[in-house]
Amino acid sequence: MSEERMTFKVTDEAGKEIECEVLFTFESDETKKNYMVYTDNTTDEEGNTKVYASIYNPNEAETKLIPIETEKEWKIIETILEELQTKAAESMNEQ
């Protein structure tokens, strides 16, 4: 069974197209906003995959990524990422 990847392209400051992969989306009960967490599948100096997050409106035909500007919103996203990492580590330990 193959899981379909959701991807989209963005254009960087230099005009280069970059393909990004959507990791997950969610709606926050606290902020009433929808968030998209995604990666361009590049890594940082420590070898960790770079992950980004933006606000988006799932009801728009063309998705626009809106920057997250509040510390509260970043905390919500960080908490979810930490929970996912913990679950992933637990499931790997069970194998």
pTM: 0.81
For the chain, which residues make up each domain, given as ranges? Answer: 7-94
Structure tokens at 62: 């063309």
CB-based contacts of 53, cutoff 8 Å, min separation 6: 35, 36, 37, 38, 68, 74, 77
pLDDT tens figures, 41-81: 999 999 989 999 999 999 998 888 999 999 999 999 999 99
